[in-house]
Structure 1
Amino acid sequence: MHGLFRWSSKWWPGVIPLALFWAIAAWTSTAPLEADLAGRSAAALKEIVLDKTRIAVEGRDVTLGADAFAEDGRRNAVAAVASVPGVRLVNDETRLVPEAKPFVWSAERDVARVTLGGSAPLPASKARLLEAAHAAISGIEIADQMNLARGAPERFDDAALLLIGQIGKLKDGKITLSDTSVTLSGMARDLGGREAIAAALKALPAGFTVAANDVKAPPYVFQAYKDPVATTLTLSGYVPDDKVRAALAAAATRKFVEKVVDNLKPSVGAPYGFAAAVVPALGALSRLSTGTLVVSDREVKLSGDALYDAAAAQIRAGLGKDFPQGFQFKADISVRPPSAPVDPTVCQQLFSDILAKGQIRFETGSATIDPDSAGLLDRLVETALRCPSANFEIAGHTDGDGDDAFNQALSERRAQAVADFLVKAGLPADRFTAVGYGSSQPVASNDTDEGKAQNRRIDFVVR
């Protein structure tokens, strides 16, 4: 017995190296076989559309896991692996991708990113949508929150790609496709964007419909800024068309002595009565020393400094009287601090400088002052206020057309109308003398329209 135990003790240590050699041999012969079967199984699945494919090989048995997009695809995947030479058994762990009912896909935009959400029918579809989003909206993050699901309507890709093309026209908002029904909401990035989106939706594939398009247009904004330092009036924002643009620029040129800078752009979306509100609002702005006019849809805001107290009261009271129905207005008008008094010599030069930039206009053959001259008259009032010790002759002149007696009377009435304006502004009546000279003192030839226009004038003479 003891001899047998001693023999077993000597034999046992030799078994361990043999077992190790056997394990190494088995591993070195099995591992390449399993890797080969795994590679050939993956290759067999190359033409079958699957998601989350997993292949594990043990010996010659293959475990296949994958999400398939149709029952045929699932069965074909298992059969393809089973047909690989050397595969003995396929352990089928495949399943169908969940079906979405309804099949919903969305694209949502905010300030920071565009988020693609909901479901896509295939990995290739998902990739195409992401690529299209990057192409349509450059310079902004594209967040992918799409899942894969079955149940997409026919021509889903065509419809979703067209909708992605519209997301770039939104400042913010959301586009949702539920089965074949499209809904949109948000704010268009530019004027005309809402109309452009509506036009594009007409190209949706057959069977797709727009259930709701609640995309809003941005405010239709017109702005005018009067800068006394640069002596400019800058027009910016939008107008309905080039005809209205030309009309507003012409109105501004009549009302302002400043240089008009036209940065307006034609665009759709103007509220009804737009031009009829802007023109009188420009007239109110012309009476300010410095100021800003903003017309946003049907809201008119005027802010700035009037040249004297009475002008501020008149502007506040008059703003909005000529606006079309439905327009709202707000006037934030202060009065500029009075300028320092000047002696009569300087006063005469100030009057001459002002009237060299513009003329007081009257209705044809009448002594009624054209409203376009209100801004120029306010400048003359302010100058008169700076000359407290001076008296003034207001001289009226006409061109050479017509009867001399009529021209004489007309020039007197026009001079008096200007004097009345200054008195109404708060200046003492006894400081003004209205005199008419008819056509007796021309400053240009009456043979041309330009010369006649120069002769029809009001002069201020400091006494």
Structure 2
Amino acid sequence: MHGLFKWSSKWWPGVIPLAVFWGLAAWTSTTAVEGDVAARSNAALKDSVLDKRRISVDGRDVTFAANAFSEEGRLSAVASVEAVPGVRLVNDETRLVPEAKPFVWSAERDVVRVTLGGSAPLPSSKGKLMEAAKAGLGGVEVVDQMGLARGAPPRFDAVALLLLDQISKLKDGKITLTDNKINLAGMARDLGGREAVAAALKNLPDGYSVAANDIKAPPYIFQAYKDPVALTLTLTGYVPDNNVHAALVAAAGRKFFSEKVVDNLKASVGAPSGFAAAVVPALGALSRLSTGTLVVSDREVKLSGDALYDAAAGQIRGGLGKDFPQGWQYKAEISVKPASAPVDATVCQQLFADTLTKGRIRFESGKADIVPDSAGLLDRLIETAMRCPTTNIEIAGHTDSDGEEAANQALSEKRAQAVMDYLVRAGLPASRFTPIGYGSTQPVAANDGEDGKAQNRRIEFVVK
């Protein structure tokens, strides 16, 4: 017995390293197998559509967890792992992502960011939408609040990308897709944005429809500013089309006899009905002011500034909306320019001459009816007459040589009388004025051309 113990004590120390070696070899072999099984399993799932995929290996047993987006996809993924060489058992912990009923996706824009919310059907869908939002919104912050859910309508990606493109046309607002119904609300970024969104939504795939489109257009603004120092009329804002554009600039040229028209107008859709019919008379009212601003916002007209005399202020306030189309609103904030210093007869005559050199009092063809375009010019003549209250003034009417002399004589007298009546209605005493008609007897240009005839058809103020 003693010998046996003695022999055992000699070989036992050698067994310990051998056991350690065997254990180490077994552990190393198991680790290698598990790593190989894990790698093969992940490779088998390379093209699977899954979310939150996780694989753990215990020997040759695999625990597989993931969120799948269809039952077919889930079963296919499990089968792919089960078919991996070396896998003995698959512990299936996969599950289907929840189904959204209804399936809702949204894009919302405020002043600083765009937020994508609701559900997307696949991680790749989320990625596409986020990438498109960042690329198409010019550096605007994009926030992803989208979850993942089953139940998306067919062609979801294409429709969501189309709707996301409409968000870029909004200053603020929200677009919501609920199954295959679309709701839109908000304010368009530019004039025409509302129409552009509506046009784009005509390209929706079959089965999709717009349940509500409450996109509003920004105010349709037209502005005109009369500057008496620079002698300019500056037009800014929008007009419906090139024809209206040309008509308004031409009207301004007739009504503002001494101002240079600075045209900064742009054509854009979205004008309210009756736009030109309201703007033309509003420009006429502005032409009667010494300095003033006209702002047309949708169907509202605001006129502010200084009239040249008290009666003009009352006439402008009372007559501003008279010729506007139905449904238009107006507001007149008219004060009266401080009276200019009195002048003597010589200066008075020079002021009349200078004014009538810049513009002519116009009448209806062959008649003594003063056209509304002459209101601004007449107000300036009235202001001059008020500056020389002690003078008497002859109002002389002249015609061209067309027609019979007797008819021309009568027409010139009637036109001179019409101008005097206008001045008297402004508050000037009738006793200061004498209307006289000269027919075609005092031409200032040859009557053999239209330009000469136009110069001869005139009213003159002669200080006595």
TM-score, length of structure 2 as denominator length: 0.89
Change (3 A) 1:32 1:429: farther
Identify which range, 310-319 or 363-372, moves more after superposition: 363-372
Match of 1:217 in 2: 217
Q: Unaligned 5+ residue runs, structure 2?
A: 1-13
Determine the C-alpha separation between the residues in 1 that align with 2:358 and 2:68.
81
Matched residue, 1:138: 138
Amino acid at match of 1:249: V
Counterparts of 1:111-260 in structure 2, within 5 Å, are: 111-257=111-257, 258-260=259-261
Equivalent position amino acid for 1:146 in 2: M
- 2:328 pairs with 1:335: no
Q: Take 1:171 and 1:22, find their aligned partners in 2: how far apart are those partners?
A: 73
Q: Give the alignment's Cα RMSD to 1 decimal.
A: 2.8
Instruction: Note the C-alpha offset of 1:101.
Output: 0.6
Structure 2 counterpart of 1:367, which letter? A
Aligned to 2:288: 287
User: 2:56 corresponds to which letter in structure 1?
Assistant: A
User: CA 1:24–1:360 in structure 2 vs 1: closer, same or farther (change >3 Å)?
Assistant: farther
Q: Matches of 1:95 and 1:358 in 2, distance apart?
A: 86
Matched, 1:324 2:351: no
Secondary structure of the residue aligned to 1:202 is helix
1:30–1:404 Cα change, 3 Å: same
Matched residues in 1 for 2:289 and 2:169: separation?
A: 38
- Structure 1 residues 64-103: Cα deviation after superposition (integer angstroms, max 9, x where no partner): 2211111222222233233333444433322111110111
Cα pair distance change 1:81/1:454, threshold 3 Å: same
Using the TM superposition, give the Cα deviation of residue 426 of structure 1 relative to its aligned residue in structure 2, in angstroms: 2.4
For 1:306-325, what aligned pairs fall within 5 Å after superposition?
A: 306-325=307-326
Which stretch has the larger CA shift, 196-205 or 382-391?
A: 382-391
Report the alpha carbon displacement of residue 358 of structure 1 after superposing the two structures with TM: 0.9
String of CA shifts for 1:109-134, please: whole Å, max 9, x gaps.
22222221111111111112222223
- CA shift for structure 1 position 407: 2.2
Question: Whole-Å Cα distance in 2 between the matches of residues 116 and 179 of structure 1?
Answer: 16
- Look up the match of 1:458: 459
CA distance in 1, matches of 2:16, 2:394: 131
Q: 1:60 deviation in Å?
A: 4.2
Q: Mean alpha-carbon deviation: is it higher for 366-375 or for 225-234?
A: 225-234
Superposed CA offset, 1:220-250 (max 9, x none): 3322222222322222333333222222222
CA distance in structure 1 between the partners assigned to 2:20 and 2:223 by the alignment: 90
TM-score of the pair, normalised by structure 1: 0.89
CA distance in 1 between counterparts of 2:38 and 2:384 reads 97
How far has the Cα of 1:32 moved from its partner? 5.3
Which amino acid is 1:439 matched to?
S
Question: For the residues of structure 2 that align with 1:361 and 1:15, how far apart are their CA atoms?
Answer: 128
1:149 to partner: Cα distance:
0.5
1:443 counterpart SS class: coil
Identical amino acids, percent of aligned pairs? 76
Letter in 2 for 1:166: Q
CA distances 1:288-316 after superposition (whole Å, capped 9, x unpaired): 11212222222221111111111100000
Structure 2 counterparts to residues 60-71 of structure 1, below 5 A: 60-71=60-71
2:44 corresponds in structure 1 to 44
With 270-279 and 151-160 compared, the bigger mean Cα shift is at 270-279
Q: Return the alpha-carbon distance in structure 1 between the equivalents of residues 119 and 31 of structure 2.
A: 40
Answering whether residue 300 of structure 2 is matched by residue 296 of structure 1, we say no
Structure 2 distance, partners of 1:280, 1:163, is 42
Distance 1:444 1:22, change over 3 A: farther
Partner of 2:279: 278
Secondary structure class of the residue paired with 1:157: helix
CA deviation profile, 1:127-171 (whole Å, cap 9, x unmatched): 122222234322322221111110111221222222222222222
What is the distance in 2 between the residues matched to 1:276 and 1:128? 49
> Hey, what's the Cα distance between the residues in 1 that align with 2:260 and 2:27?
92
Matched, 1:439 2:440: yes
Deviation at 1:392, TM superposition (A): 2.7
Residue 355 of structure 1 and its aligned partner are, at CA, apart by 1.4
CA distance in 1, matches of 2:231, 2:305: 15
* Offset from partner CA, 1:37-77 (integer Å, 9 cap, x none): 43333222111011112233444443322111112222222
Q: Greater CA deviation, 446-455 or 415-424?
A: 415-424
Alpha-carbon distance in 1 for matches of 2:422, 2:281: 19
1:87–1:427 distance in 2 versus 1, CA, 3 Å: same
> Matched residues in 2 for 1:224 and 1:63: separation?
76
Query: How far apart, CA to CA, are the structure 1 residues paired with 2:401 and 2:362?
Result: 17
